[in-house]
Amino acid sequence: MKQIRRNLVILSVIGLLAFGSGIGYAAETSKVSGLQYGSPDTFAEFHGFINLEYFDFQKDGQSDEVGGPGTSTFDLHNFYFNSLAKIRQNLTVLSEVEYEHGGSGEITLDRGFLDWNLAADYLSLRLGKFYSPFGLEIRDYQAPIRKLISRPLMTDALLFTEWTEVGVNAYGRIKPDPVGLTYEVAVVNGPGDKDKNGNPIDFLTQGEAARQDRDNNSSRDVIARVSVPFQLDESLIEIGGSYSGGRYSATDAPEKLNFSLMGGDLQVQAAGLVLRGEYVKRKADVPGPVTGKVKVDSKSYYVQGSYRLNFNEEGLNYLEPVIRYDYLDPDTDTKKKKDETTQIALGIGYSPYPHFVMRAEYQINNRKNDPTTAVDESKYHLNGYLLQAVVDF
């Protein structure tokens, strides 16, 4: 009986969408049996993107993107689907679901939050699950937006990959244009010391697994960023600084383990030219080899430049060459063995039509004493190329 009732409700909704365009939505909503919530005055928008990638790295290297030495493969990396609704002029709701790796990955709620504007440009509150307000890269990392196929080394090594948090985020702009101070301050659960299955993790190397939706201790973490964007002739310049820190060990852990992140960033936009760079330093407590705890200091930076050539023609919307240089020191080495990694990424983006872009990238990597492998060599080379096609809607 429940199945029959459910099917009737679905058919009724489809009928309203197909044949009810000339009838007011508010009047028809009341006829849907059992619907006790939802705004009859709001039509939600639905958007998303599909991201197909191809990797091919040489056999003496190991691709962090694929996870195997000498791997080459197609990968439907992700499918994003989100809904956006404005409940009233100062209330907006967004929910976003991600489906990874063509069905073999998991379906996750990537984001889900309420934006509540309280005082024009000066103060808004974001409540729910959102991207961490730290630095530049995390807010521009999604495939339709970023310039290269790969992301900077710091994102996986230091910044918890797709760094989402659950909590409250206050943000706004203190001074009006042309020069103003923007700020974001978030109080969140913060990362943890176990994965989703409750298994202990290495906080230094398993940043993605450290993300958690429910807190593992009674300590909240703080994330903050301030920036100064200003106009200089025809250029837009933004200088920013970020901080995050708190406890990541569980309440019942034998040691109280803390971490902190400090970051600085700079971005310059002038016509089609975009120059950007970020520096991040992490300090983290880790359990000692016998007892107690030790502190590990890691750092990373990147610089990136891109130039978009707009043609706005059928079959040739734009071309965009990109170059990025990365440096990473995870500080997991000893005095005799260094573990720095450098990377040069050369790429180009070709957009035949708006909302459709294809990219190609070649990486030149130099990794010393890779801690993720058991082979003791002085250097590792994992050069390779990546291809990508992205459509957003």
DSSP string, 241-290: EEEEEEE-S-TT-SS--EEEEEEEEEEEEETTEEEEEEEEEEEEEEE-SS
Is 40 domain-assigned?
no
Q: Are 27 and 52 part of one and the same domain?
A: no
Range of the domain at 253: 48-392
Total domains in the chain come to: 2
- Is 335's pLDDT higher than 90? no
| 247-278 per-position pLDDT tens digit | 999 998 888 999 999 999 999 999 999 999 99
> In this predicted structure, what is the pLDDT of residue 3?
47
DSSP string, 15-70: HHHHH-TTS-HHHHHTTSTT---S-TT-PPEEEEEEEEEEEEE-TTSB-TTT-SBT
Q: Are 5 and 60 part of one and the same domain?
A: no
Which residue did the predictor score with more confidence, 370 or 15?
370
Q: How far apart are CA 326 and CA 370, in angstroms?
A: 16
Q: How far apart are CA 169 and CA 172, in angstroms?
A: 10
Is 106 domain-assigned?
yes
Is 226 domain-assigned?
yes
Is 41 domain-assigned?
no
Q: Are 283 and 168 part of one and the same domain?
A: yes
Q: Are 3 and 81 part of one and the same domain?
A: no
Q: Are 4 and 120 part of one and the same domain?
A: no
Q: Are 183 and 226 part of one and the same domain?
A: yes
Is 111 domain-assigned?
yes
Q: What's the chain's average pLDDT?
A: 84
Residues in the chain: 393
170: β partners: 125, 185
Q: Are 29 and 104 part of one and the same domain?
A: no
Is 291 domain-assigned?
yes
Residue percentage of the chain with pLDDT more than 70: 82
Question: In Å, how far are 27, 309, 353 from 63, measured between CA atoms?
Answer: 56, 31, 31
Is 43 domain-assigned?
no
pTM of the model: 0.84
CB atoms within 10 A of CB 2: 6
- Is 143's pLDDT higher than 70? yes
Is residue 218 very low, low, confident or very high in pLDDT (cuts 50, 70, 90)?
Answer: confident
Q: Assign residue 84 the CATH number of its domain.
A: 2.40.160.10
Provide CB contacts within 8 A for 196, sequence distance 6+: 209, 212
- Element at 8 (helix H, strand E): helix 2-19
Q: How far apart are CA 26 and CA 39, in angstroms?
A: 9
Q: Are 131 and 224 part of one and the same domain?
A: yes
Is 39 domain-assigned?
no
Is residue 153 very low, low, confident or very high in pLDDT (cuts 50, 70, 90)?
Answer: very high
Q: Are 154 and 92 part of one and the same domain?
A: yes
Q: Are 219 and 359 part of one and the same domain?
A: yes
Q: Are 3 and 96 part of one and the same domain?
A: no
Q: Are 2 and 81 part of one and the same domain?
A: no
